[in-house]
A and B are shown apart, each in its own frame.
Chain A
Amino acid sequence: MEKKRARWRDEEEDAVVADRRRHEKEKKKKAKLERIGRERNGEQTTTTTTPDGKRRVLHGTVAEIDLTSSGLLRFTGPEIRSCRSVENYERLNHIEEGAYGVVFRGRDVSTGEIVALKKLKVDKDQHGFPITSLREIEALMELSHPNIVNLKEVVIGGALDQIYIVMEFVEHDLKSLMTDMREPFLQSEVKTILHQLLSATAHMHENWIIHRDLKTSNLLMNNKGMIKVADFGLARYFSEPAAPMTPLVVTLWYRAPEILLGAKQYSTEVDMWSIGCIFGELLINKPLIEGKSEINQIMKIFELLGYPDESSWPGFRSLPNAKSINIPKDRKPKTSLRSRFPYITSAGVDLLSSLLQFDPKKRITAKEALEHPYFKEEPMPKPPEAFPSFPSKAGEERKRKAPSPRAPVAVHGFEVSDSKLLGFSDDENDNMPILASPSSSLFRDNEQLGAGFQLRFG
């Protein structure tokens, strides 16, 4: 218990720092909104001088705005309210069955709007309401962005365990689209998709949320070429410096090397690695690094990118699982990104390799990537509305097969930090089935570990 306390205290301090930054950021945002509001009202944007010197000292940039007659900022929160009934929606057809529940297409009875209704699984044997769903709802409520799927509300059916998340309806997911395409996306299309994905990711990261499961099957695309990031079941808030997190996140093929090597702390960079993998997949129309197990995945990463060393990734040797990796004497990469992607420009290769940097500290951020020259050179990104329209699968009653492995299922999403779980010490695991398949022995281990709802500290 003592250990737990100590950990909390650290987090408390981190939270203080994080919160202060957040605080400042929010205030700036508010100030900006205020200015925009005033401009819209045709008022002059005057920078009022503060009558109170102290305010300027304490709040920096905010000091110049007056919001109420008393000069105080009014914080208005939302109302405390209850779920509405699912009766407000008319059920149309079944869309898919995912890891977290059944999805239906529905129509808002009052507005006629078409929505997606995701019925949540509330398993009686589990520990109450799934934490993954709680996280997803919280993250989606917090995030509002054109490239992030919009959560409208949560509604309930007649019985207490009939719970539906109402989201905007999006016609396709990128993975199924790509499976049906004979040719990869055009360069201009890749740019548009990637730029939207980066824009959504930058927004998440600005709001202190890591997605932790970015992959093509979690990227939805509507008939107007708009990308919508979905499935926030593994998302969580992060703080700086990072708090310990579970290594059991991100679908294997998109998992960053620091997670594979058992880092206890990781952050937004893991999403950027996944985006690198998605970028590669968009270019060649098949998953970039298709490992069969954790150890096989990391070996394939090294095959593609060469082996890291102390200069390219300082400190990687001290990661828990790095010790069990034999780096051959001959360190030359067997292939290079350039030779794997002969048809993209050098700016494209540069962006890809910035995303697929071993060292998380050197990996490009979403915000930086948005400004990358790749998006400013010919061929320019195609306007989303110029995308070809695809026949909607979801609109018809067709089930979608799970096209890529699922994200690993951590114990109710709680943090489990036991590197042994990853099976690194055992080379025989090379041929093991992918982590999250229910028949995998690893999966059963997880379940066992979860019994009793216990947190393990590594």
Chain B
Amino acid sequence: MNDKRPALPRLTNALATPAQLQESHTRGLTPSLISSLHYLGGSLIQIAGAILNFPDPAIATSAIIFHRFHLLAGFLEPPIRNTAAACIYIASKSCEIPLRPSAILAAVDTACEDPLAVGGKRIPRRKYSHANTETLDHWELRILTTLAFDMHVVTPYTLFLEYLVSMNVDKEREKTVAQRGWNYINDIMKTRICIFHQPNVIAVTAVWLAAREADVEMLDGEKWWEAFDVDTEDMGHVVLLLREGRDIATRERDRIVSGREPTLTVEEVKLRVVEEASLPSR
């Protein structure tokens, strides 16, 4: 426990160990349900963050804290809607962008009505009174202690821009790639990718995906990502998980469209476990 941080603290994040992953799969939830719940939470945080005008890197910080916490704590006790709010609360402190607890609660509540943004834009309904922040404080402490107060989070946005600039793409197209890549990172933050891969891997993959989509050829087909210490295998894994995230989004949206409730409370998670058990196994 007395180990100090490794030599590159400003570039690296704490990641999940294989043992932790294995354990997260022994709590009665299927891997696909676990991925879905991570995605729902990530999406909830992004919508609530947008309502709060929270900058993307701060939203990403909230999401990374969320994914780390649920890796260790699972989903059978902590309710997503409460932990999502608490993660935004913690990120607002560690990013020094203060938000009122009541505003966070109102925003998360609004986001919960449509956690996958199936409908249109939302407006926060009402302000909360001070008394309702007790639950928020509780989950804040639970998250902090579960993560040993290590709120050191590196988001990939600055690395992404830095890598992109160093690629010397012409200005007009650089802008397109920057926007698309930025959105890719936002999507990545909804998934668990950030507890599997370091920010440099995510940043490089975002550059690669955006460049490919915008039809920008980088360095004549050379393996330029190796210059940023990223190998093809890691990039492939990120792309795979990102695709899985999109499948989850479709699946969960279909559920909501077909009239079922999004799985946001512990009760709903339990019902979902039963529901999945009754389905024919894939």
| B-binding residues in A (CB < 8 A) | 1, 4-5, 8, 12, 15-16, 19-20, 22-23, 26, 29-30, 33, 52, 54-55, 58-59, 70-84, 122, 124, 127-129, 131, 134, 137-138, 141-142, 144, 152-154, 156, 160-161, 163, 236, 412, 414-415, 452-455
Contact = CB atoms under 8 A, between A and B. Distances in A.
B96 interface: yes
B140 interface: yes
A454 B98 contact: yes
B166 A58 contact: yes
Given A82-B148, A83-B149, 17 more contacts: A8-B97, A12-B157, A19-B10, A33-B7, A70-B231, A72-B226, A72-B229, A79-B20, A82-B147, A83-B145, A127-B133, A128-B93, A128-B141, A129-B137, A160-B138, A453-B100, A454-B98
A152 B2 contact: yes
Nearest to A160: B141
25 contacts: A4-B53, A5-B53, A16-B158, A23-B10, A26-B7, A54-B222, A54-B224, A58-B227, A70-B226, A73-B229, A77-B6, A77-B12, A80-B17, A80-B68, A81-B148, A82-B146, A128-B101, A138-B151, A141-B149, A142-B9, A144-B5, A152-B2, A154-B145, A454-B98, A455-B97
A23 B11 contact: yes
Interface in B128-156: 133-134, 136-138, 140-142, 144-152
Nearest to B68: A80
B11 A141 contact: no
Given A15-B158, A80-B15, A8 B99 contact: no
Nearest to B17: A79
B264 interface: no
A272 to B, nearest CB: 23
B10 A16 contact: no
Contacts of A128: 89, 93, 101, 133, 136-137, 140-141
A311 B143 CA distance: 53
B1 interface: yes
A324 B9 CA distance: 45
Interface string B55-91: 1010000000000100110000000000000000110
Contacts, number: 175
Contact of B11 (A71, A75, A124, A161): A75
A163 B145 contact: yes
A214 to B, nearest CB: 21
Interface in B27-46: none
B263 interface: no
Interface of B: 1-17, 20, 53, 55, 57, 68, 71-72, 89-90, 93-94, 96-101, 133-134, 136-138, 140-142, 144-152, 157-159, 161-162, 166, 195, 198, 200, 219, 222, 224, 226-231
B15 to A, nearest CB: 5
A77 B199 CA distance: 11
Between A71, A82, A127, A452, the greatest number of chain B beta carbons within 10 A of the residue's beta carbon is seen for: A127
